[in-house]
Amino acid sequence: MTYEKIDNYRWRIPKSYKSGMRVDGVIYADEKMIEDIRSDKAAEQVANVAFLPGIVKHSFAMPDIHWGYGFPIGGVAATDIEAGGVVSPGGVGFDINCGVRLVRTNLKESDVKAKLKDLVYGLYNNVPAGVGSKGEIRISEAEERKLLVEGSAWVVKKGYGSQVDLDYTEEKGAIKGANPDAVSPRAYERGKNQSGTLGSGNHFMEVQVVDHVYDAETAAVFGLEAGQVTLMIHSGSRGLGYQICDDYSRDMIRCLAKYNISVPDRQLACAPIKSEEAQAYLGAMRCAANYAWANRQCLMFLARRVFEKVFAMGPKDLGMDLIYDVAHNIAKIEKHDIDGKEKLLCVHRKGATRAFAPGHPELPAKYKKTGQPVIIPGDMGRNSYLLTGTKGAQETFFSTCHGAGRLMSRSAAIKAGMGRSIKAELEKKGIVVMASGRETLSEEMPEAYKDVNEVVNVVHEAGISKRVCRMRPLGVIKG
């Protein structure tokens, strides 16, 4: 594959690389990262995405890119709806609206140190985690249909949060256009008992401390300063979202012949946005997105309750306010400037974070001057980051990286962890970890991921997001 260096942080795969590519591929990476990317099949997927009908600008990949289903994880692509643009379930992935929320507290690291194990054990025992875990917050099928439309608002109405939480959630926790009739009975069955559950794999709840502030003025707007304790929650749409992707990615293969679409990988099966098939998928996908926002709202409620019990403090004294919640896997209909003209696009972000610049009309009033908070989790042994969106992110449809990005497959990580106690290794660093799955800690060991510090440095230096502060893990629960 040919890589043309654009600058220190961007590389081009020219559309001449493969007959049928409609646009170039552009990968955000530095010299060191591009060497790892060369050896990964994900770069080929960047080129394959460039075949999609209606694609505009480029097929983008963030520095946390790694191989995925159809699209690479870390992939961003937008299609022009009026020019036959398509939506592809592979451009969203199986964990629809896998995303992250960051919660501030009034606690300092010194307040937490003596009670850290009690806090981690309390979270572990009160937040259901793991494959197929069933939640404390149970709902009937009729209520579940309401939840799929109302998202976080449904949860808040039940007493598990407040309006302020909705104000600081992307789409206020419910994207419009959700269609419960487009969700299969099997998807309903899989999602029925999983509201308020963390899930497995890389999903986590992490107690952190702000250990470095890059932009004190912006950090202050978010209510953060060095030494302050935060809580990060990373989860998605659980079995419901997985089943929706499975249903539609399989069924949409028929659309390739029906609409005369040629792509080099069946995992890129897609349909024109205006088609019945695409509208059905978007309606179901939005249901899963709303389910995920509701799920993270439930998880935050459960976590707040544990903090109150462990520290014997009320909500006001704890100050557990939501900074922001943002999706990492979603397709959204957005207006963007393309060559001086406003176009209505279907923006696929798969393992990528929306990063609106200061002044964007969709931002809460509090964040109009700062830009959108961008939450970037790292691995459980290093750091996570809070960034903001920038005007430079207009190039990538206001998108940036979403995390560290895997270096090892799960099976390779398990093999590398044989004979080791990842838990003990982390505890030597002062990080208390609990996991429900026996092999989860090996799958999620720090070495299985790229260094998030390097990933964030690329997007910061490339100008598509800006560092605000860095958080270090204190305690982690994994599914």
- Would you say 324 and 101 are in contact if contact means Cβ atoms under 8 Å apart? yes
How far is residue 154 CA from its own chain's centroid? Answer: 22
What SS3 class is residue 24? Answer: strand
Rounded CA gap, 178 and 30, in Å? 39
Residues of the chain where predicted confidence (pLDDT) is lower than 50: 130-131
Task: Give 264: exposed, middle or buried? Use CB within 10 Å, 0-12, 13-18, 19+.
Answer: middle
Q: Which residues pair with 327 in a beta bridge?
A: 99
Q: Which residues of 309-320 are buried (b: 16+ CB within 10 A; e: fewer)?
A: ebbebeeeebeb
pLDDT digits (tens, 9 = 90+) for 145-188: 898 999 999 989 989 999 999 999 999 999 999 999 999 999 98
The CA distances from residue 455 to 9, 30, 63, 170, 377, in Å, are 11, 9, 6, 23, 11
Give pLDDT, residue 40: 83
Question: Of the candidates 446, 153, 191, 188, which has an alpha carbon nearest to the alpha carbon of residue 294?
Answer: 153
**CA-wise closest residue to 129 among 475, 379, 445, 434:** 434
CB atoms within 10 A of CB 177: 13
Structure tokens given for 404: 């560290």
Cβ neighbours of 365 (radius 10 Å): 7
In CATH, what class is 4-478? alpha beta
**The two structure tokens encoding residue 403:** 């995390």
Q: What are the structural domain ranges in the chain?
A: 4-478
- Kindly report the backbone phi and psi dihedral angles of residue 106, in degrees, each rounded to the nearest multiple of 5, phi listed first: -90, 0
User: Do the strands 432-435 and 465-478 form a parallel or antiparallel pair, or are they unpaired?
Assistant: parallel
Q: Compute the chain's Rg from CA coordinates.
A: 21
Strand, coil or helix: 220: helix
Contact 143, 457 (CB under 8 A): no
- pLDDT score, position 381: 78
Q: How many CB atoms lie within 10 A of CB 293?
A: 32
Catalytic residue flag (residue 336): no
d(CA 449, CA 4): 26
Chain-centroid distance of CA 20 in Å reads 30
What is the 8-class DSSP label of residue 137?
Answer: S
Residue 102 and residue 110: Cα distance in Å, rounded?
20
Which of 294, 42, 256, 253 is closest to 156 using CA atoms? 294
CA distance 346 to 330: 10
SS3 content of the chain, % helix, strand, coil (to 5): 40, 25, 35
CB-CB contact of 59 with 77 (8 Å): yes
| pLDDT in the model for residue 200 | 59
On the CB side of 4, CA atoms within 13 Å amount to 10
Give the closest residue to 73 by CA, choosing from 352, 473, 303.
352
> Residue 104 — left, alpha, or beta (φ > 0 → left; ψ -120 to 50 → alpha)?
beta
- pLDDT for 131: 46
Helix (H, G, I), strand (E, B) or coil at 410: helix
Q: How far is CA 458 from CA 29, 30, 451, 452, in A?
A: 6, 7, 11, 10
Q: Which amino acid is at 160?
A: Y
Q: HSE, CB side, 13 Å, CA atoms: give it for residue 458.
A: 29
Question: 75 phi and psi, to 5 degrees?
Answer: -95, 145
Q: What pLDDT is recorded for position 46? A: 97
Round to whole Å and give the CA distance between 180 and 305.
31
Find the catalytic residue in 66, 203, 234, 402: 402
Name the DSSP letter for residue 305.
H
Q: State phi, psi for 475 to the nearest 5 degrees.
A: -145, 140
